[in-house]
Amino acid sequence: MISLKCMVEMTDYRGEGAYFSISIIDNEEIYLKTIYVLGSDKTWFSEMKSFWKHLKANNLFLDDDFYPLIEGVSGPTISGGETRILQLEIPKLLYDNANYLRFETAVEDKGYYPDDINVALNEESLKKSYEGNGFILNIKFIFPEK
């Protein structure tokens, strides 16, 4: 596993908390692995339509590895203007292999962005910071010091 520290800042949108997932996809947009989901209440996961398809197709709900990916700590979702620091665990096999990190966001009645941000999974591109297309203002990455 490769550990990656990631800071997400949300835009100042008004509305419900955002549902948010981070998945690794290949260059044909096939889901390889979901590595992070924000929103402890899975009832609303269906708002993230693309992720939801992947979830259902692979029966992830039955997967024991899936639940630790869900963060349900201080509020199930991430709201407008909020900052979060996340710890991402990326399987070595999928790293540096022409795959992407996809940040998917959805807010009730406000919209859904399957590609809020896509970042190529290699050291070069993870050094930069990125601006989102949707509810994400920007993201930054750091490899934790060993």
Binding site for other proteins (CB under 8 A): 3, 5, 7, 12, 14-16, 40-41, 43, 67, 70-74, 76, 80-81, 83-85, 87, 89, 108-109, 140, 142, 144-145
Nearer to other proteins, 101 or 107 (CB): 107
Q: How far apart are CB 26 and other proteins at their closest, in Å?
A: 26
CA 5 distance to own-chain centroid: 13
Q: Which is nearer to other proteins, 15 or 53 (CB)?
A: 15
- Report, in Å, the least distance between residue 116 CB and other proteins: 19
Distances (CA, A) of 61 to 19, 35, 53, 68, 93: 17, 14, 12, 11, 23
**Minimal distance, residue 38 CB to other proteins, in Å:** 12
User: Residue 72 forms beta bridges with which residues?
Assistant: none
CB-nearer residue toward other proteins: 28 or 68: 68
Those residues with Cβ within 8 angstroms of residue 85's Cβ, 6 or more apart along the chain or in another chain: 5, 6, 7, 8
| Pairing of β 111-120 and β 130-131 | unpaired
For residues 60 and 53, give the distance between their C-alpha atoms in angstroms, rounded to a whole number.
10
Shorter beta-carbon distance to other proteins: residue 76 or 114? 76
